[in-house]
Structure 1
């Protein structure tokens, strides 16, 4: 029976017309109480070290004019995307970040709030970003158009980058695993080794993509101050 290759990414599981796959988005909430009642252990100390490092890096990127506590927005974004990326590697758990429905929902409100704040409070600063310093007069209209277009597509590039990177690895692993039943027994061990290496690569991609979307959101926020 023929089926669409991308059907494995569709949230089709439902219960009384309620999609169950999207419940995986909230599985990360189960890890929050863990840090409150358990004695601090290595897992807790490593996670605390990661969050402190992110806080210092985001604070540096935002600059001295940033509001106190503004880094927690991007730390929360990193944590949310990280948990959803990583949990998608487990069997029978839907990867919600592989859909534009979620990734665009994260990037679009952030970008829109940055733009509204920048144009309302720092209009001159936003206009100065449209034309780089030293641009010839004849090229100024074209530079304004180019900068405007590049600014508008930012939420789309954030969302598509996260979605494409999460789908690519999962799709490759699915294609390779589908060849297992028809593959000679002597190549099965090689296939298993390749799948293990791909799983390690996907674990690294899950962390990197969470860091990329949070660091780019921080950079976009720093431009409006």
Structure 2
């Protein structure tokens, strides 16, 4: 299955999403908490508003007990349904925080799903792979990467992807290597795809 990286001699560079030499994910530890409330409630109490969680969706691949669907059908459905829930279209999306675990099969499967949704425009959308810095927190990853996406949208800066020395030609994404400015109006998605084909996507919009 090649789930875990075997780069034990160089752990800081072991998590390398989209790299030709990726060989699995690195376990990470951590947690994140986001306070979700209506805009009216936040304004009434004078809260600092970082971004809007505009929509979300979940789906299941129904493909394999651990491996993702290589055709990306379930993941693509989750992305499309999340966009519909948010009242936006694929053409509106201008930033992606990808699931991007650094596994040989997972990264390609996610790219395939994104290409189904965005077509060739996927090559023009900035994509961050933050597990390159944190490793994979498993159950904690969704909240952590939602937080990263919210902060990127709020600060209008796309987070960098580490350890991408030789990008896999089979994954022609616009991967963000250095912190990159984002436009004033942002519609972002954050993907979290779990073992067994459990897919969750949220849409984050700038305020």
TM-score by length of 1: 0.25
Greater RCO (CA < 8 Å, at least 6 residues apart): 2
TM-score by length of 2: 0.27
Which structure is higher in strand share? 2
Larger radius of gyration: 1
Which structure is higher in helix share? 1
